[in-house]
Amino acid sequence: MSRVIVIIGPPGAGKGTQARLLSEKYGYPQISTGDILREMAQAETTLGQEIRATLASGKLVSDEILAEVIRTRTARPDCKNGYILDGFPRTINQAHQLEELAERQEKEVLLVRAMVHQEVLFKRLTGRYTCPKCGEIYNVYFRPSKVEGICDQDGEPLKQRSDDNPESVLRRFEEYKTATAPLIEYYGQSGRLIEIDGEGKVEEIFEKLCSLIEGVISR
Ligand code: AMP
């Protein structure tokens, strides 16, 4: 049976990084709702403006908009054999939407939860800067660029995400605790939940993650 792998975890837990590695290994597309929404936020339309404001504040975009985004994206042919969700579902309502969708698409949902301490998350997010030209990611605490604010590769000024300021980060943690954390219990009861420690070396986390996923799949 084809599969949907969902990565869940607080902002800064490394969902995007692990999702990308899983996508490379299993050949499933990585669907990041954050990336899709950031793209939609660039449109000079009422919807674009609305999404832009919501993202910058750190609040969640509405379940209605997300339902449409996910339905459209997962209908594309590259999702036929399975896909990886990074950032969806984030509410119980979205989890119900996903259950229905997966049933219709005849796919089994597997959930991976990445756990990281809040102090580490805070530094990962508020210290994160990206090069708009080459996409290289730096962190002022863990991986600073040689010259502050400038990309080592191409000398481009680095950019911070509009929601990586301390105020929006705290709001995102709050949204995670109230809206998203209840999903862990929801999926935990179904026996489809894999939990991993999200601190440490990316490659080591990934290796552990793959062996856990393969353990569940072969059951
Ligand atoms: P991310 O890139 O996953 O950290 O998401 C960035 C922002 O996009 C979040 O803080 C939300 O404002 C919005 N977002 C992403 N995924 C969802 C979702 N499933 N439901 C609601 N809002 C979302």
What CATH number is given to the structural domain containing 84? 3.40.50.300
**Is there a domain that residue 51 lies in?**
yes
**pLDDT value, residue 206:** 96
**Is there a domain that residue 84 lies in?**
yes
**Is there a domain that residue 67 lies in?**
yes
Pick from 183, 125, 138, 163: nearest CA to 9:
183
User: How many angstroms separate the alpha carbon of residue 17 from the centre of ligand 1?
Assistant: 16
Residue 137 has pLDDT above 90, yes or no: yes
Q: Which domain holds residue 99?
A: 2-115+180-217
**Is there a domain that residue 140 lies in?**
no
**pLDDT value, residue 94:** 97
User: How many angstroms separate the alpha carbon of residue 89 from the centre of ligand 1?
Assistant: 9
To the question of pTM greater than 0.85 for the whole model, the response is: yes
Rounded to an integer, the average pLDDT of 125-142 is 96
**Is there a domain that residue 195 lies in?**
yes
Rounded to an integer, the average pLDDT of 81-97 is 96
Q: Catalytic residue among 15, 52, 73, 124, which?
A: 15
Q: How far apart are CA 63 and CA 90, in angstroms?
A: 9
Q: Report which of residues 162 and 189 the model is more confident about.
A: 162
Residue 93 has pLDDT above 80, yes or no: yes
User: How many angstroms separate the alpha carbon of residue 12 from the centre of ligand 1?
Assistant: 12
Quick one: which atom of ligand 1 is closest to the CA of 175?
10
pLDDT confidence of 218, banded at 50, 70, 90? confident
Give the total number of structural domains in the chain.
Answer: 1
133 in active site: no
20 in active site: no
**Is there a domain that residue 17 lies in?**
yes
- pLDDT, the chain, mean: 94
The answer to whether the CB of 169 falls within 8 A of the CB of 163 is yes
Residue 191 has pLDDT above 80, yes or no: no
Query: For the chain, what is the radius of gyration of the CA atoms?
Result: 17
Residue 217 has pLDDT above 90, yes or no: no
Residue 132 has pLDDT above 80, yes or no: yes
